[in-house]
Amino acid sequence: MFSQEAYNFALSLCTAAIVVCYIFVGLFQIKFSYQNKDMKQMWIGIFAAGFQIFAIILAGVHFLMLVCIGYIPGIYFYYKAKKEFNIDGGKLTKAEVIYSILLVIFAVASIVMVATGKVSI
Protein backbone atom coordinates (compact mmCIF):
# COMPACT_ATOMS: atom_id res chain seq x y z
CA MET A 1 0.00 0.00 0.00
CA PHE A 2 1.23 3.42 -0.90
CA SER A 3 -0.18 6.80 -0.06
CA GLN A 4 0.65 10.31 -1.15
CA GLU A 5 -0.31 11.39 2.36
CA ALA A 6 1.95 8.92 4.17
CA TYR A 7 3.40 11.52 6.54
CA ASN A 8 -0.02 12.83 7.56
CA PHE A 9 -1.29 9.29 7.99
CA ALA A 10 1.68 8.27 10.15
CA LEU A 11 1.36 11.44 12.23
CA SER A 12 -2.35 10.82 12.81
CA LEU A 13 -1.73 7.17 13.67
CA CYS A 14 1.03 8.03 16.16
CA THR A 15 -1.13 10.72 17.71
CA ALA A 16 -3.96 8.22 18.20
CA ALA A 17 -1.51 5.79 19.85
CA ILE A 18 -0.33 8.52 22.22
CA VAL A 19 -3.90 9.49 23.09
CA VAL A 20 -4.59 5.86 24.07
CA CYS A 21 -1.71 6.10 26.55
CA TYR A 22 -3.09 9.36 27.95
CA ILE A 23 -6.49 7.72 28.40
CA PHE A 24 -4.89 5.00 30.52
CA VAL A 25 -3.02 7.64 32.53
CA GLY A 26 -6.31 9.41 33.28
CA LEU A 27 -8.02 6.13 34.18
CA PHE A 28 -5.16 5.17 36.50
CA GLN A 29 -5.37 8.59 38.15
CA ILE A 30 -9.07 7.99 38.79
CA LYS A 31 -8.37 4.57 40.32
CA PHE A 32 -5.42 5.75 42.42
CA SER A 33 -7.22 8.88 43.65
CA TYR A 34 -10.34 6.91 44.54
CA GLN A 35 -8.29 4.38 46.52
CA ASN A 36 -6.58 7.23 48.39
CA LYS A 37 -9.83 9.19 48.84
CA ASP A 38 -8.47 12.26 47.02
CA MET A 39 -11.62 13.54 45.32
CA LYS A 40 -9.94 16.60 43.78
CA GLN A 41 -7.40 14.45 41.92
CA MET A 42 -10.11 11.95 41.00
CA TRP A 43 -12.13 14.66 39.27
CA ILE A 44 -9.04 15.84 37.43
CA GLY A 45 -8.54 12.25 36.24
CA ILE A 46 -12.17 12.01 35.15
CA PHE A 47 -11.81 15.23 33.18
CA ALA A 48 -8.51 14.13 31.62
CA ALA A 49 -9.75 10.68 30.59
CA GLY A 50 -13.06 12.08 29.35
CA PHE A 51 -11.32 14.75 27.30
CA GLN A 52 -9.01 12.22 25.67
CA ILE A 53 -11.87 9.83 24.88
CA PHE A 54 -13.85 12.72 23.39
CA ALA A 55 -10.80 13.77 21.34
CA ILE A 56 -10.22 10.30 19.89
CA ILE A 57 -13.89 10.06 18.94
CA LEU A 58 -13.74 13.43 17.18
CA ALA A 59 -10.48 12.56 15.42
CA GLY A 60 -11.99 9.36 14.09
CA VAL A 61 -12.41 5.95 15.61
CA HIS A 62 -10.82 4.43 12.50
CA PHE A 63 -7.43 5.73 13.66
CA LEU A 64 -7.97 3.98 16.98
CA MET A 65 -8.76 0.77 15.11
CA LEU A 66 -5.65 1.13 12.95
CA VAL A 67 -3.55 1.53 16.09
CA CYS A 68 -4.63 -2.01 17.05
CA ILE A 69 -2.44 -3.33 14.22
CA GLY A 70 0.58 -2.08 16.14
CA TYR A 71 -0.55 -3.88 19.28
CA ILE A 72 -0.39 -7.33 17.66
CA PRO A 73 3.40 -7.68 18.03
CA GLY A 74 2.99 -6.36 21.59
CA ILE A 75 0.60 -9.19 22.44
CA TYR A 76 3.16 -11.70 21.19
CA PHE A 77 6.05 -10.20 23.15
CA TYR A 78 3.89 -9.83 26.27
CA TYR A 79 3.02 -13.52 26.11
CA LYS A 80 6.67 -14.49 25.53
CA ALA A 81 7.74 -12.40 28.55
CA LYS A 82 5.10 -14.02 30.77
CA LYS A 83 6.35 -17.43 29.70
CA GLU A 84 10.02 -16.55 30.12
CA PHE A 85 9.57 -15.12 33.61
CA ASN A 86 6.86 -17.63 34.57
CA ILE A 87 4.34 -14.94 35.45
CA ASP A 88 0.88 -16.44 36.13
CA GLY A 89 2.28 -19.84 35.20
CA GLY A 90 3.44 -18.49 31.84
CA LYS A 91 -0.14 -18.24 30.60
CA LEU A 92 -2.42 -15.37 29.72
CA THR A 93 -5.29 -14.75 32.11
CA LYS A 94 -8.86 -15.04 30.87
CA ALA A 95 -9.17 -11.24 30.70
CA GLU A 96 -5.90 -10.95 28.77
CA VAL A 97 -7.09 -13.52 26.24
CA ILE A 98 -10.37 -11.64 25.77
CA TYR A 99 -8.62 -8.27 25.34
CA SER A 100 -6.10 -9.81 22.95
CA ILE A 101 -8.88 -11.32 20.84
CA LEU A 102 -10.67 -7.95 20.72
CA LEU A 103 -7.48 -6.17 19.65
CA VAL A 104 -6.87 -8.72 16.89
CA ILE A 105 -10.48 -8.41 15.69
CA PHE A 106 -10.17 -4.61 15.51
CA ALA A 107 -6.80 -4.93 13.74
CA VAL A 108 -8.17 -7.34 11.14
CA ALA A 109 -11.26 -5.18 10.65
CA SER A 110 -9.11 -2.11 10.10
CA ILE A 111 -6.93 -3.96 7.56
CA VAL A 112 -10.09 -5.00 5.70
CA MET A 113 -11.40 -1.41 5.82
CA VAL A 114 -8.15 -0.11 4.32
CA ALA A 115 -8.08 -2.86 1.67
CA THR A 116 -11.68 -2.17 0.61
CA GLY A 117 -11.18 1.60 0.58
CA LYS A 118 -13.58 2.36 3.43
CA VAL A 119 -10.64 3.99 5.22
CA SER A 120 -8.15 5.83 3.10
CA ILE A 121 -4.55 6.32 4.08
Whether the pLDDT of residue 2 is over 70: the answer is: no
Q: Where are the alpha helices (DSSP H) in 39-93?
A: 39-59, 61-84
Read off the pLDDT of residues 63-96 as tens digits, 9 standing for 90 and up: 888 889 889 999 999 999 999 999 999 999 999 9
CA angle 23, 62, 50 (to 5 degrees): 25
pLDDT at residue 66, as a whole number: 87
Q: What is the rounded distance in angstroms from the CA atom of residue 120 to the CA atom of residue 71?
A: 20
For residues 51 and 39, is the Cβ–Cβ distance under 8 A? Answer: no
For residues 16 and 66, is the Cβ–Cβ distance under 8 A? Answer: yes
Read off the pLDDT of residues 6-65 as tens digits, 9 standing for 90 and up: 787 788 788 888 999 999 999 999 999 999 999 999 999 999 999 999 998 888 888 888
Q: What is the rounded distance in angstroms from the CA atom of residue 42 to the CA atom of residue 64?
A: 25
Would the pTM of this model clear 0.75, i.e. be above it?
no
